[in-house]
Structure 1
């Protein structure tokens, strides 16, 4: 009896393991000549069924004879052994029969339109794995000629534009400090240039300078940051985000009881000034916090910053012969300089909060993949490592051969993807994803592999890496969870030890966006030669 149960369980487990819907990669297609095999297995099944009926009839006859009370001839030793043995099932034949029958049922469901979404995704993966193999990139000479004529020309005035924007931004922020109340308003620090323009690889026009503007609260307040990897108060689904709590700087002062005791009019705490005592009675919520909380509100910060920029420009506008306007109202400092000749220069001033004592910053209004925002999302700020990214690229560029091709590869890939998106519409890939691919390869390959003569090979590496990441729906953030970050960068240890952040996680949650991205990537690969020849 136990042997029969064991065999039955083994058959069922084997059928489940080999079911194509549960393990599509191993059994994603029907074997060749499956129809003939299924017919043979059905014939075998019929023979086994007849044999089972014969045995059941013999057993039924014996049971009827025993109930009648008649003498029954004792079976021979051979017959007794035959009856006591388990049913003469061929285990391997039965397993094969069940597997092929399940495959046939799956095929019928597939033809009727069932499991359409799953099948489409499997087809995408099957094609994605072979997409790059059928693409012939232009040779090194063609790529070098294309880069020199199309990309270098577009980036020739990048340095001059940076100088102009930085000078104007410094003047604007200085005016902002002068119009703000230093006892009540936030205090802004010097701007920090980050992004593709400062890393010398942006190719799409208009060229846009990205400047981070750190700000701090007035005394005696301070910001206390809470990241997803350092505090339990940040939910697990907010990986990459953190909150900024506004608190008084003297909250942690040990032994001081001035906040708990009435000192009287003629008494003064030696640790805290009168100004501090006056401000302690104010409401923390007034300092750009979310309603009824002590957490900094991104929308409140945006409104404050836009108003402050407007006041600062009104103070210095008479010094300049151009106009300054906001290009995007839902961004804190997306500004545009418009000259009388009609020429425009765009740049972004984005208010940020320093994360502890590091060069990581909490950034407001970071693109959130167009996902619907919950009411409390304004209190969650994304942590950006743009300063470390720029520093890493500058540091490793000094170790690479002269005229290294790492930025050239990134520029070509960014150019191709941008042109493809202009033809077929936007996809889920961004220039930040492309830069992340380059950063991973810079760390994985030796320095000598990035010589100018390896432009074609390294571009192929980037495309293959991107293809593999799309197939797996996984592209890890370069810094978060990376234990191999060079020590010279002084990168915070808590972010190195954190769980890796998957930049492609939205593809897992949004299948339509993923399919659109895969289609755009395939189309870009097929059009690579045509795009390069055309431009």
Structure 2
């Protein structure tokens, strides 16, 4: 618009100039002509001024129109941003409503899921109570009665036999000690319970026992020999004057007492012989059985064994089995060397060291400390049932439970924590199997209760690895029985909880 207006002004001025300067002139101008020219000049000047003012006004008007356009453009831009902001707010509100709806749906689903889990937990709790009350307790519910009956029987035997051995040179029978799973309150299988009893032996008059460690690295475990030596019974100030001293007058003692010394009767060379002791004790049992009150209501059968005396007692209603082992106590502690075999070819003069008495004492200590309705025995019973295998030692499972008992507060072994403790035991067993490493519980353990007494060499010993030499096949076989279903509190141990029962009574899906 500005360019068009300037063009018109230019052409008007050019035409005016041409009209002014193209008029004919002569040599002289009259006065009238001069006045007319001056008047025309003034008129042109005024017209020019008027036109310039109009141009200025038009320019100002155009400038005002530009500012208006700018303001209008700015106004339009603000509306666009306002509209865009409104769209953003609407989008945010829509997303919030969508999320709220999803959250409501999620809450409903979560409530439904929680309800289903609660119903599942109730079913699980019922199945668990059924399993604990009807199945796990079934093999062990009469154990205490059996233990009391066994100890009464063996105490009667040792009392009668002890009186018969007075003034002889046979080993002195000390008070029997019950040990093993039955005396700890559990059994490894649903088979017949075996009640194990240890009878400690002490040397007779004129004899001493010296324990010699067998350092043969080819033999598993810690093994000993019991060296029997004759002891002088003469007065200190007059050695050799006592004619009843085996050390100085063995022939005189034999002739006067008509009794052989221990070296002549139950030893091989200078060492106490396990097999000879078993045969000797079984003969005493046969001879003294009729003098026991139990003989009036029970029938006794002696079962053949080379390193223990096995007694089968039965009547018209029931039957039970007692395995009697013999041992020598180490340094007034709870550790014994015993007649228990270690392998098929255990020499008759070898006495393996056993920690079973200390372990049983540990379980009794924990039974006094744990809640009345403790679950540790049931947990051990269940795992022993499921994982029982002829080539897999259940003592490994027992070791896992003992280690957990020694680290977890006893209050956490209440029955309501059964699944948690079962979970911990399975996880420890799984890790130990994968690493093929599980430390012995007694050897080298300095955190046992004070009432369990250990010799210094046992307390300071390096704990052996119970899984040393465990085959990969056996590891895989046991791990297959430990299938962990990833759920809050649901476990599958193998395929069924048989615990020695038939399939139709097994509890599935635990």
TM-score bracket for this pair, using the shorter chain length: 0.5 to 0.7
Deviation at 1:346, TM superposition (A): 0.9
Please say if residues 247 and 284 of structure 1, whose CA atoms lie closer than 8 Å, have aligned partners that are also in contact: no
Corresponding residue to 1:249 among 214, 223, 231: 231
Residue in structure 1 matched with residue 340 of structure 2 by the alignment: 365
Corresponding residue to 2:127 among 129, 142, 146: 142
Q: Please give the secondary structure, in 1, of the residue aligned with 2:392.
A: coil
Any residues of structure 2 matched to 1:358-437 within 5 Å, and which? Answer: 358-366=333-341, 368-370=342-344, 372-373=345-346, 377-418=347-388, 421=389, 426-430=390-394, 432-437=395-400
1:305 correspondence with 2:281: yes
Q: Please give the secondary structure, in 1, of the residue aligned with 2:443.
A: coil
Q: In the aligned structure 1, how far is the partner of 2:294 from the partner of 2:369?
A: 47
Q: Please give the secondary structure, in 2, of the residue aligned with 1:209.
A: strand
Q: In the aligned structure 1, how far is the partner of 2:481 from the partner of 2:495?
A: 11
Deviation at 1:379, TM superposition (A): 2.3
Residue in structure 2 matched with residue 324 of structure 1 by the alignment: 300
Q: Please give the secondary structure, in 1, of the residue aligned with 2:155.
A: helix
Q: Please give the secondary structure, in 2, of the residue aligned with 1:353.
A: strand
Residue in structure 2 matched with residue 154 of structure 1 by the alignment: 139
Please say if residues 206 and 230 of structure 2, whose CA atoms lie closer than 8 Å, have aligned partners that are also in contact: yes
Residue in structure 1 matched with residue 190 of structure 2 by the alignment: 204
Identify the range of structure 1 (140-149 vs 184-193) with the bigger mean alpha-carbon deviation: 140-149
Deviation at 1:142, TM superposition (A): 2.8
Residue in structure 2 matched with residue 96 of structure 1 by the alignment: none
Unaligned runs of 5+ in 1: 1-137, 228-232
Residue in structure 2 matched with residue 289 of structure 1 by the alignment: 267
Please say if residues 231 and 247 of structure 2, whose CA atoms lie closer than 8 Å, have aligned partners that are also in contact: no
Q: In the aligned structure 2, how far is the partner of 1:429 from the partner of 1:521?
A: 14
Please say if residues 245 and 294 of structure 1, whose CA atoms lie closer than 8 Å, have aligned partners that are also in contact: yes
1:220 correspondence with 2:190: no
Deviation at 1:459, TM superposition (A): 0.9
Q: Please give the secondary structure, in 1, of the residue aligned with 2:267.
A: coil
Q: In the aligned structure 1, how far is the partner of 2:125 from the partner of 2:304?
A: 41
Q: Please give the secondary structure, in 1, of the residue aligned with 2:444.
A: coil
1:279/1:176 CA distance change after superposition, 3 Å: same
1:172 correspondence with 2:193: no
Deviation at 1:165, TM superposition (A): 2.0
Deviation at 1:497, TM superposition (A): 0.3
Q: In the aligned structure 1, how far is the partner of 2:478 from the partner of 2:273?
A: 37
Please say if residues 334 and 452 of structure 2, whose CA atoms lie closer than 8 Å, have aligned partners that are also in contact: no
Please say if residues 330 and 455 of structure 2, whose CA atoms lie closer than 8 Å, have aligned partners that are also in contact: no
Corresponding residue to 2:468 among 494, 501, 505: 505
Residue in structure 2 matched with residue 466 of structure 1 by the alignment: 429
CA offset digits 1:142-178 (Å, max 9, x no partner): 3332011112233222222222222222222222224
1:349 correspondence with 2:324: yes
Give the CA RMSD over aligned residues.
3.1
Any residues of structure 2 matched to 1:90-169 within 5 Å, and which? Answer: 139=124, 141-169=126-154
Q: In the aligned structure 2, how far is the partner of 1:307 from the partner of 1:459?
A: 46
Q: In the aligned structure 2, how far is the partner of 1:515 from the partner of 1:348?
A: 32
1:316/1:395 CA distance change after superposition, 3 Å: closer
Corresponding residue to 1:334 among 289, 294, 310: 310
Deviation at 1:220, TM superposition (A): 0.6
Deviation at 1:439, TM superposition (A): 0.7
Please say if residues 230 and 247 of structure 2, whose CA atoms lie closer than 8 Å, have aligned partners that are also in contact: no
Residue in structure 1 matched with residue 496 of structure 2 by the alignment: 530
Identify the range of structure 1 (193-202 vs 486-495) with the bigger mean alpha-carbon deviation: 486-495
Residue in structure 2 matched with residue 235 of structure 1 by the alignment: 216
Residue in structure 1 matched with residue 417 of structure 2 by the alignment: 454
CA offset digits 1:346-393 (Å, max 9, x no partner): 111211111122121111033x244x44xxx33221112222222222
